[in-house]
Structure 1
Amino acid sequence: MSSKTTIAEFTNNYSDPIKAVKRFSARADAVIVGAGSGLSTAAGLTYTGPRFRTYFSDFQSKYGIENMYSGGFFSFPTAAEQWAWWSRVIWLNRYQPAPNDTYQQLVHFLRRTNYFVLTTNVDHQFQRAGLDKERLFYTQGDYGLFQRSASNQTFDNYQLIKKMVLAQGFKLGPDQQLLIPQGAQIKMQVPVELVNQAQPFSLNLRVDNNFVEDAGWHEAANRFSSFIARHQTGRVLFLELGVGMNTPGIIKYPFWNWTANNPAACLVTVDKSRLIYPQEISRRTIAIKGDLANFIQQLNN
């Protein structure tokens, strides 16, 4: 496939793109979802704005950090502050429910199809929404896991992360909501004993060559590869949701190629920002520039 691309709000072939997606999915042999960070943003898991300022105003004031994403690359002077930062990020985006039910609605739609989900998101929201884990491949890791590269192992981090946020002065609501008690002075560090418990580990996030692909990761990768191999032909819907260009080799480029090589396939790409797809498959592409949560809601109407 050439590198020539088209940017558009929607293809001219579809007067009603939502109806076209629903019609194709109803008769599809398979629906393959590629989910990026835009999907979690649509579910309310925003990394900036009021949500960031509510829980990280102290880090913003002290270090000038503007959002949860950039803060992940900040070099904190102490491990106690580093784990205070990361425990908040992990709790808010992994253990606390998402503000909106976007993932639940998407899972409800997918259950009516023969589907598989490929995601670069690390917030575990598909699992929380009840997606069959046998139909999910989370390529870039999981906020809920620590890893030890030397032994190629991952470990659940719930209990330790919970201790860290509570040690900073937060409280937990009945739905695991992170609460700031009235008049409480939230600390920007965690106790040394919790730091020592965390020190043997790193986060299971693909940030360098030390990322651990454990047995569970490889099993999910193999299930996804087998699903793709079974659906190289036939009516296949490639549903690209909130996928940007940070790591196009994981979702975008493969989806383009699989669509190009299968004349019966259809690519759907939905995002609030730029919509990019190859000219060669434009006749079989439904590109919708708009609110992703609203799009998923309309799929269920």
Structure 2
Amino acid sequence: MEDKFRKIIAKMQEADSIVIGASNGLSISEGIHIFADNAAFLENFGDFREKYGFRSIIQGCFYPFPSEAEKWAFFSRMYNYFLYKQEASSVMKNLYELVKDKNFFVVTSNIDDHFRQAGFPSDRLFEIEGNGRNLQCTIGCHDQIYPGDEILSEMVTKQVDGKIPADLIPTCPECGGPMQVHLEVDRNFLKGEAWQNSFQAYQDFIDNAHRKKIVILEFGVGARNQLIKAPLMNLTNQEEYATYITFNRGNELYIPDAITAKSIGIDGNIAEILERLVQMK
């Protein structure tokens, strides 16, 4: 394993560009598992589980709550669990430390906004499915995304019996209609100007890396992930000087034959691996 780590550090030092791809496995390494009916879910969302029957944070995100007051009680609780009054995890701090001096860009399907929390600049970050701290008009009457920290944190402190007070239910400042967290949980997800700008910045980064030494660092992306993993593997296959480095556990550590010669697979605990790589940097 140490030989692989040394090779990874060498490849990163030589790289002109670094692409970081991240999905649920990275969050799991921080202790956040949005798909699990575990002790943390019971502690933070047990009342919702008992009342509505859903058994994970992700199921709650898609749940058709009977009222706006109940919907916002859940999403503000999720915001609180992810972000409120918390500093970045050691996992995310180590990841930032590993790449902060390099030319990098992040593409992620994680909705916890932990990259920005750890210091990753917004202009180097493409959150494909949004994050849990921003709000949008549900009907998408206009493009603007709104920061939700103030209202979401107030909702958390004032909810009673799984509902927030009516006067805290947000409405669109343009059309007066309902709002929602900016997450891709339905067809209303707004891919407006901010989303398009992030997408274009990511595409420009990839275009500028063409024919140069590019290292792809992939953290906790499932073997069948077509949103992040498939494009990164295709990029590796197309770029002559690309190196694909994937970090995952067990069967999720997948490298196709076509890019094996350009790839490094690390099977293990992402938190421990990042700590070791930062020590070797």
When normalised by structure 2's length, the TM-score is: 0.88
Determine what percentage of the aligned residue pairs are the same residue. Answer: 29
Match of 1:59 among 33, 36, 48: 48
Deviation, structure 1 residue 232: 1.8
Deviation, structure 1 residue 50: 2.2
> Compared with structure 1, are the counterparts of its residues 98 and 43 closer, same or farther at alpha carbon in structure 2 (3 Å cutoff)?
farther
Give CA-to-partner distance per residue, 1:233-261, whole Å, 9 cap, x none. 12211111111257x33321111111111
> Compared with structure 1, are the counterparts of its residues 208 and 55 closer, same or farther at alpha carbon in structure 2 (3 Å cutoff)?
closer
**1:4-43, aligned counterparts within 5 Å?**
16-43=3-30
Paired letter, 2:84: Y
In structure 2, C-alpha distance between the alignment counterparts of 1:17 and 1:146, rounded to whole Å: 42
In structure 2, C-alpha distance between the alignment counterparts of 1:139 and 1:222, rounded to whole Å: 12
**Which residue of structure 1 aligns with residue 66 of structure 2?**
77
- Kindly indicate whether the alpha-carbon contact (under 8 Å) linking 1:44 and 1:99 is maintained by their aligned counterparts in 2: no
**Which residue of structure 2 aligns with residue 155 of structure 1?**
146
In structure 1, C-alpha distance between the alignment counterparts of 2:118 and 2:2, rounded to whole Å: 32
Q: Say whether 1:231 aligns with 2:220.
A: no
**Which residue of structure 2 aligns with residue 181 of structure 1?**
none
In structure 2, C-alpha distance between the alignment counterparts of 1:72 and 1:15, rounded to whole Å: 40
| Larger RCO, structures 1/2 (Cα 8 Å, 6+ apart) | 1
Q: CA RMSD in A?
A: 2.1
- Kindly indicate whether the alpha-carbon contact (under 8 Å) linking 1:43 and 1:98 is maintained by their aligned counterparts in 2: no
The structure whose residues are more often helix, as a share, is 2
**1:1-301, aligned counterparts within 5 Å?**
16-47=3-34, 48=36, 49-97=38-86, 100-148=89-137, 149-168=140-159, 187-195=161-169, 197=171, 200-244=178-222, 248-273=225-250, 274-301=252-279
Secondary structure at 2:215's aligned position in 1? strand
Give CA-to-partner distance per residue, 1:27-77, whole Å, 9 cap, x none. 111111111121122122233422211111212223333221222222333
In structure 2, C-alpha distance between the alignment counterparts of 1:20 and 1:272, rounded to whole Å: 20
Unaligned runs of 5+ in 2: none
Secondary structure at 1:72's aligned position in 2? helix
In structure 2, C-alpha distance between the alignment counterparts of 1:99 and 1:57, rounded to whole Å: 25
> Compared with structure 1, are the counterparts of its residues 245 and 96 closer, same or farther at alpha carbon in structure 2 (3 Å cutoff)?
farther
Unaligned runs of 5+ in 1: 1-13, 169-185
Segments ≥4 residues shifted beyond 6 Å: none
Paired letter, 1:162: S
In structure 2, C-alpha distance between the alignment counterparts of 1:227 and 1:291, rounded to whole Å: 29
Deviation, structure 1 residue 197: 4.4
> Compared with structure 1, are the counterparts of its residues 73 and 223 closer, same or farther at alpha carbon in structure 2 (3 Å cutoff)?
closer
Give CA-to-partner distance per residue, 1:128-186, whole Å, 9 cap, x none. 11112221111211211111211122111112211211112xxxxxxxxxxxxxxxxx6
In structure 1, C-alpha distance between the alignment counterparts of 2:85 and 2:144, rounded to whole Å: 25
When normalised by structure 1's length, the TM-score is: 0.83
- Kindly indicate whether the alpha-carbon contact (under 8 Å) linking 2:221 and 2:248 is maintained by their aligned counterparts in 1: yes
